[in-house]
Amino acid sequence: MIEVRFHGRGGQGAVTSAELVALAAIEQGKFAQAFPNFGPERRGAPVMAFLRVDEKPIRLREKVYEPNIVVVLDPTVIRIAKVDDGLKDDGILVINSNRDVADLRAEYGFTQKLALVDATRIATEILGLPITNTVMLGALIKVSGLIDSEAINGPLARRFGSIAPKNQKAYERAFTETKLEE
């Protein structure tokens, strides 16, 4: 089973991200679950969402405490939350950042492998807004292979309707531009 924890801010689409991947995984014959972790937070407040994908039924019904992958939609969350908490030693941190790996390691002490993409820039250029959820999905799928890269198309089309093509383009661009540390 692959477990993913998303960190973002209310309104950025962390919950939507987890749901879209779960739907795509289920359409591919896998088992998946996605759920949020928030209370009465307002737009802009830190939020987390969780995702599990497996080839067999998932019986767990709790938060993801030891993720294989952590996705950070908003890099400012790193300053207020220990995003790598519980991340497995061989895990991957997928971060929306225009900084380089050495800078992030020096400032935050990350020890796991990093995957970086400037999702805010991509979202602003393609969507016209700094909403990074579908952009970060491109990064997540590139580094994880949780689903086939095209499997997200159906869930994107159903969720976003007429703006799905822009979201698809942002997803594809992030898939191409994400840099995974060797």
Confidence of residue 44 (pLDDT cuts 50, 70, 90): confident
User: What is the C-alpha to C-alpha distance for residues 40 and 171, in angstroms, rounded to an integer?
Assistant: 30
3-state SS, residue 27: helix
CATH number, domain of 75, equals: 3.40.920.10
Number of neighbours of residue 38 by Cβ within 10 angstroms: 14
pLDDT, tens digit (0-9, with 9 covering 90-100), for 108-144: 999 999 999 999 999 999 999 999 999 999 999 999 9
Place of tokens 């952009």: 135
Sign of CA dihedral 28, 148, 124, 13: positive
Whole-prediction pTM: 0.95
| Whether the predicted pLDDT of 43 surpasses 90 | no
- Contact present, 119 and 13 (Cβ < 8 Å): no
Contact 43, 11 (CB under 8 A): yes
pLDDT over 60 (residue 30) = yes
What per-residue confidence (pLDDT) applies to 61? 87
Chain Cα centroid distance, residue 124: 17
The DSSP code for 151 is G
Question: What rounded mean pLDDT belongs to the chain?
Answer: 94
First to last CA, the chain: 23
pLDDT over 90 for what percent of the chain? 89
Instruction: For residue 49, give its domain range.
Output: 2-180
pLDDT tens digits, residue range 61-118? 899 999 999 999 999 999 999 999 999 999 999 999 999 999 999 999 999 999 999 9
Q: What is the domain count for the chain?
A: 1
